[in-house]
Structure 1
Amino acid sequence: MKVFMIGGTGLLGSEAAKELINRGHEVVSIALPPLPTGAVLPAQMKIEFGNYLEMSDVELKKYFSECEGFVFAAGVDERVEGPAPIYDLFRKYNIDPVKRLLRLARECGVKHSVICGSYFAYFNKIWPEKELAKWHPYIRSRRDQEEAAMSLADMDFNVAVLELPYIFGTQPGRKPVWMFLVESIRNMKGVTFYPKGGTTMVTVPQVAQAIAGAIERNKGGNCYPIGYYNMEWKEMLSIIHKHLGCPGKKIVTIPNWMYAAGGRKLMKEQHKKNLEGGLHMVKFTELQCSKQFIDKSLGCIPLGVKPDDIDKAIGDSIHLCLKIMDKKVNALDMKGE
């Protein structure tokens, strides 16, 4: 089928385009410039540079015409800071576009749509006692994004939201999201201090398989928790240490109150700058220090996601971070489309 994608030059979008094309689909995309130096896009993908937020309905409908599929691989994540209320920014980039684009897609006869979301929305559903949407603007925005997407799905318009977790993998010329973590670990000499808990994770190719699987398999409106490899923080850090060249470095688990103290300091600094973050970093302690695990049977298996080398994916991410930090390569910041 012909698939229209927003964000085809990004880390996830470009890999998803490659996967879709390898499966025999046609992909056309619009994305924000510039193209990262060294990035390799599928030769068969038709790409145009532009800002979809500035396009009229008529202009966008030209892209949707004759398409059966649509992928939204854009938006912004929880690392964004801005003037309060920060939720307004998330609404602008994550919620309003989904409402508009899915409406246009349905009007143009598109049958299958996929939205790249966040696994925080999944935990908001299964852990209601934590009141995640109440305390964290970003998580609230992802909940509202899902509700908007599901409200437009019906028997003739299939909509899937992928609740994506930690993702490891690289795109040449683009900074991995792990720069801050690598810098922090490097600065902790002799010992790495980290809280208890853990997370689920996938590789970039696995996300691409989930996107393609959702385009091909999803029926009706569904949110898929995506997670393949569950690791406690210590296990993940041990792999990171190995690729940083310090495999024997000690890992010390800090108490929750100490992590919360760091979050409180960060929020005070944000307040001084008249900024608000997507996460309430003191309240986030409870989530960060828990096991944010997802069983692969909930999303990955139904969508046809295959096993991958998570150790290598983590290593690739860490090695690119090091090259950028040591000024051996130039790279663009990760950004929303």
Structure 2
Amino acid sequence: MNVLIFGGTGLLGSAAAQIFIDRGHKVKTIALPPLPEGAPIPEEMEIEFGNFLELTDEELEKAMTGVDAFVYAAGVDERVEFPAPVYDAYKKFNIDPVDRCLAMAKKCGVKRCVVLGSYFAWLAKDRPDMKLCEKHPYIRSRIDQENVAFKYADDDMGVAVLELPYIFGTQPGRRPVWVILIEQLQRFEKMPFTMYPKGGTAMLTVRQVGEAIVGAAEQVKGARAYGISCYNLTWREFLKIVYRAMDGIPDRKIVDVPKWTFQAFGLVMRKDYAKRNVDSGIDPVGLADIMGMNLFIPTDDTKELGCTPDDIEAAIFDSITLSKASFEGKAKLLDMKGE
């Protein structure tokens, strides 16, 4: 196949690109410079530097012509801050580009499209009683992104949305998203224990995300949302690994935080956001409901896509080690925003 990836030099896009190439496919990307120093970007991938959001219709059509599979591995997540209304930013970076690109893909005869989404969309559909789209603009935007993508699916063009959870692994030269976790844990540095919600999350490694992307591009038919997970860990299990990686602490004591305590902290965060003119994509008070549950996803879909076993603990170690170095100013890294 001829594959076009938007975001192909990013953490996830480059992982998928390598797997595509290893399987005999040809890959090209349009991506923003610069390349992360030392990043394992596949030499065989054709790279055109530029902002795909600024392509004219003619330029976009030229990029899509002759393409068999298109991957949208770009956009922003809830950790990127924007002024109110934050939904407008998600529409600009996550929804409108998917709408435009998939419309062009259909015009150009692309057979399969893969969009990287969020496991919050999986949760919103699995638990409609939580009314997450009403409480959280980011979650509403991810559902809207899926709906926009799926309107282009038919017998001639399959469309897959990968509802991605926590992802671990690093790209040399690029700042991991987990620096924010290091910052959060600093408040417990002088305490004999760490306070955290009682719950858990789905997760997988960067390589497994790459396998899921390639698997979907090779086989998706019609419209399909894949709930993505290879491992499900409680926060306690996860944080014990984090502390071993971060400080060499073999068995850090983790104390469950009552829901009301997390909600109280969320009220403080709301005031902080308002003071800084930030509109949060995930309401910090409502986040207590999500953090206190085991947001575990069955692994059936990832097995169907061909994801193979990996060392999740080693991937967490790599992510936390590089995040700590970034937090301490010991590593010069490009930011993850937009990838």
Q: Which residue of 2 aligns with 1:198?
A: 200
Per the TM alignment, residue 120 of structure 1 is displaced from its structure 2 partner at its CA by: 0.3
| 1:236 paired residue number | 238
Stretches of structure 1 that go unaligned for 5 or more consecutive residues are none
Q: Which residue of the partner structure matches residue 156 of structure 1?
A: 156
SS at match of 2:302: coil
User: Which position in structure 2 is the counterpart of 1:174?
Assistant: 174
Instruction: Specify the SS of the correspondent of 1:82.
Output: coil
Query: How many positions carry a matched residue from both structures?
Result: 336
Cα offset for 1:271?
Answer: 1.0
Name the residue aligned to 1:281: 284
- AA in 1 matched with 2:220: N
Distance 1:280 1:325 in 2: 25
Which residue of the partner structure matches residue 216 of structure 2?
214
SS at match of 1:269: helix
**CA displacement, residues 132-177 of structure 1 (integer Å, 9 cap, x when unaligned):** 0111000000000000111110000010000000000000011111
SS at match of 1:241: helix
How many Å separate the matches in 2 of 1:4 and 1:318? 31
Report deviation, 1:248. 2.7
Query: Equivalent residue of 1:215, what SS?
Result: helix
C-alpha distance in 1 between matches for 2:277 and 2:306: 45
What is the deviation of 1:328?
2.6
Distance 1:203 1:285 in 2: 25
Q: How is 1:4-23 mapped onto 2 (pairs within 5 angstroms)?
A: 4-23=4-23
Preserved CA contact (<8 Å) 2:182 2:327: no
Please tell me whether residue 117 in structure 1 is matched to residue 134 in structure 2.
no
In the alignment, which of 266, 270, 273 is matched to residue 270 of structure 1?
A: 273
2:60 match = 60
Aligned to 2:313: 311
Question: 1:80–1:277: 8 Å Cα contact kept in structure 2?
Answer: no
Shift of residue 227 of structure 1? 0.5
Alignment of 1:27-66 (within 5 A): 27-66=27-66
Task: Name the CA distance, whole Å, in 1 between partners of 2:204 and 2:68.
Answer: 27
State how far apart, in whole Å, the 2-side matches of 1:333 and 1:319 are.
16
Partner of 1:330: 332
Structure 1 SS opposite 2:306 = coil
Alignment match, 2:251 = 248
Q: Please tell me the residue identity of whatever aligns with 2:68.
A: E
- Secondary structure (helix, strand or coil) at the match of 2:71 reads strand
Residue number in structure 1 paired with 2:100:
100
The alignment partner of 2:149 has SS state of: helix
Cα distance in structure 2, aligned partners of 1:114 and 1:210: 10
Q: Distance in 2 between matches of 1:33 and 1:170?
A: 18
1:123 Cα deviation after fit: 0.4
267-276 vs 83-92, which moves further: 267-276
How far did 1:292 drift?
0.4
Give SS of 2:216's match.
Answer: helix
Compute the displacement of 1:183 (Å): 2.5
Partner of 2:294: 291
Give me the CA root mean square deviation.
1.0
Matched to 1:195, the amino acid is: P
Deviation, 1:217, is 1.2
| Matched residue, 1:146 | 146
Which sits farther off after the overlay, 18-27 or 175-184? 175-184
Q: What amino acid maps onto 1:230 in structure 2?
A: N
8 A contact 1:198–1:289 mirrored in 2: yes
